[in-house]
Amino acid sequence: MNITLLGGSGFVGTRLLGLLSEHEEDYTLRNIDKRQSEFFPKITELGDVRDPEAMRRAVSGADVVVLLAAEHRDDVSPASLYYEVNVNGMRTVLNAMEAEGVHRIVFTSSVAVYGLNKQNPSEDHPVDPFNHYGKSKWEAEQVLQAWYEKHPDWNINILRPTVIFGERNRGNVFNLLQQISSGKFLMVGSGQNKKSMAYVGNIVSFIRFLIETRRIGYNVYNYVDQPDFTMNMLVKHVGEVLDKHIPTIHLPYWLGMLGGRCFDLLAWVTNRKMTISSVRVKKFCATTQFDAKKAWESGFAAPYSLSEGLARTLRFEFIDPPKDGITFKTE
């Protein structure tokens, strides 16, 4: 099977290429990204999803296209980039696929399409994105929906993962684990809010599962590793893995948001990106629990439990960190 990854030089793409490379007798791999891959340079070519000719060359001869490329950070500027890359890039890729006779695509969307503080939304839950990232991902899905209505012979698989973490990732989960492990962690709120998470090793295994088993139709899947942890449970687990006592101080929500807005002002005045913001405080205190029953009943068996994924990440990052310094920045 010939597989083209678009945006495979990043965190998820690198792990997916690693997994698929373990089965080299089954796959011929190609990665197209606007930056070179740290781990797979021999199969990587530079290209942008907004470039029609580059996309035609990229998908030519592919059996399946895996679209990972996206603008995803909280602080992308100008905000129009979310739509240029995530939405118009989708249109460019689909047109290129049609021109080259490629009819299978796996697209990584996000649970951000549901918005904040929803009650365990399933794939059928109404969407309500609250930021440009979520809105642009939903618009990209709408492009796919409209495309499938006109191309019912295509195979379209959409994956909506919750926040993804793992080794070498530098995003919100890593920042949280780092703060907890430092012993200087301040809990905003009661700590009873549940945080759905997904270990990258399971995410890439599920993408491979979709490639191998979902070859017809239009399919949408949430992905969450079970069971969900509360913030208090997460702090306890970090302490157990690192074998250290983690004291916690609880701040009321209003005070945490006030602090976040102060950092927003400081970022605006200094024109610098801050690790703390009102958006991140809001996301931290939100209940991010999602219904992934459809994925878990699909026949997929995750190779790692959530506890195992967290333990592997903590040991890799804080007990025996690599010396090569290669990391991936996400949210």
**Predicted confidence (pLDDT) per residue in 140-183, tens digit:** 999 999 999 999 999 999 999 999 999 999 988 998 899 899 87
Beta strands in the chain (DSSP E): 2-6, 28-33, 44-46, 64-67, 104-108, 155-161, 163-165, 169-170, 186-188, 194-199, 218-223, 225-230, 249-251, 328-329
pLDDT of 262 higher than 90? yes
Tokens representing residue 228 in the block:
């969900």
**Amino acid at position 121, single letter:** P
Per-residue pLDDT, 126:
96
Backbone φ, ψ for residue 103 (5° rounding): -125, 15
* Fold (CATH) for 2-166+196-225+289-304: Rossmann fold (3.40.50)
Instruction: Give mean pLDDT, residues 99-118.
Output: 94
CA separation, residue 305 to residues 181, 283, 300, 310 (Å): 21, 24, 13, 9
Predicted confidence band at 330 (pLDDT cuts at 50, 70, 90)? confident
Burial, 35: exposed, middle or buried (Cβ in 10 Å; 0-12, 13-18, 19+)? exposed
Of residues 82, 133, 199, 223, which has the active-site annotation?
A: 133
Instruction: Give mean pLDDT, residues 41-66.
Output: 98
CB 66 within 8 A of CB 109: no
Tokens representing residue 67 in the block:
């679209």
The number of residues making up the chain comes to: 331
Q: Which residue has the higher pLDDT, 218 or 75?
A: 218
The 3-class SS string of 23-88 reads: CCCCCEEEEEECCCCCCCHHHEEECCCCCHHHHHHHHCCCCEEEECCCCCCCCCCCCHHHHHHHCH
Q: pTM for the complete prediction?
A: 0.91
The answer to whether 199 is a known catalytic residue is: no
pLDDT of 77 higher than 80? no
What CA–CA distance (Å, rounded) separates 158 from 217? Answer: 11
Tokens representing residue 205 in the block:
């295994």
Instruction: Give mean pLDDT, residues 219-228.
Output: 96
What CA–CA distance (Å, rounded) separates 264 from 198? Answer: 28
pLDDT of 11 higher than 90? yes
Per-residue pLDDT, 145:
98
CA separation, residue 40 to residues 5, 9, 18, 33, 43 (Å): 12, 8, 9, 11, 6
The residues pairing with 229 across neighbouring beta strands, listed in sequence order, are: 195
Q: Tell me the pLDDT of the chain averaged across its residues.
A: 94
Q: Domains of the chain: which residue ranges?
A: 2-166+196-225+289-304
3-state secondary structure of 331: coil
CB atoms within 10 A of CB 281: 23
What CA–CA distance (Å, rounded) separates 147 from 155? Answer: 11
